[in-house]
Amino acid sequence: MSTGASLAPPPRKKTRAKSADTSQLGLFDLDVATPSAPARPPPVASQSRAPSPPVKARRKVAADEAAHLVTLDDLPEYPAGLGEIVDRSITDLPKDLVWLTYKEIRKHFGVSRATIARRLKEGVVPGVRIQDGRMLDDGRVRRFDRVQLRWLLLAVRFSRRD
């Protein structure tokens, strides 16, 4: 039953290999017949030098050098009676509450976020970095420990007495 014709496929022509992704518009098509481009020579040792730090890192270092950290020595004096009132209100906080956010301070003491921000800018809370009259961020969420909370409440209550 053989007619003499072979069932082998016809010989292939040299064609370009195309990528399966049609959105690439032929950018990654390879010419099978042409050799690949020569490799780039390695850099000469005398021309290479240590990589310099990124520009952002240099700016951050310069910003940190110009920033002022509020310390306990920078804080004003408050009346002794006012300090006792604030200390008693802090001891009434739950013991498991170590770090307080703006929301928790408002919940427990009724002090708004705007008032807290004003007091921080005045430089009456230790541990806050100030540069050119503005506070620098501590992270995504500002949290206060009990020492910072004490000085914050002293500043708020002292301003209410005026």
Q: Would you put residue 69 in left (φ > 0), alpha (ψ -120 to 50) or beta?
A: beta
Residue 142 above 70 pLDDT? yes
Residue 16 above 70 pLDDT? no
7 vs 81 pLDDT, higher one: 81
Residue that the structure tokens 């020595």 belong to: 73
pLDDT single digits (tens) 23-80: 555 555 555 555 555 566 665 655 556 665 555 555 554 545 678 888 888 888 888 8
Whole-angstrom distance, CA of residue 7 vs CA of residue 18: 27
Residue 13 above 60 pLDDT? yes
Q: What is the SS3 assignment for 61-121? A: HHHHHHCEECCHHHCCCCCHHHHHHHHHHHHCCCCCCCCECHHHHHHHHCCCHHHHHHHHH
Residue that the structure tokens 């009259």 belong to: 133
The predicted model scores a pTM of 0.56
Whole-angstrom distance, CA of residue 67 vs CA of residue 108: 31
Average pLDDT, the chain: 75
